[in-house]
Amino acid sequence: MTIALAGLVALLVLFPTRRLQLAGWRRDALTTYFISVWLLGVVVAALPAPARLLVPVLLVAYVAPFVTVRAGLDRLFGRPGPLRPPVEPAPPPPMKDVTPPDEQAR
> Nearest-CA neighbor of 37 among 22, 67, 17?
17
Checking if the pLDDT of 9 tops 70, the result is: yes
> What are the structural domain ranges in the chain?
2-77
Q: pLDDT-derived band of residue 21, with 50, 70 and 90 as boundaries? A: confident
Average pLDDT in the chain: 81
* pTM score of the predicted model: 0.60
Cβ distance 45 to 92 under 8 Å? no
CA distance linking residue 48 with residue 45, whole number of Å:
7
CA distance linking residue 56 with residue 62, whole number of Å:
10
Checking if the pLDDT of 106 tops 70, the result is: no
Cβ distance 9 to 45 under 8 Å? yes
User: What pLDDT does residue 38 have?
Assistant: 92
Output the DSSP codes for 4-17.
Answer: HHHHHHHHHHHHHH
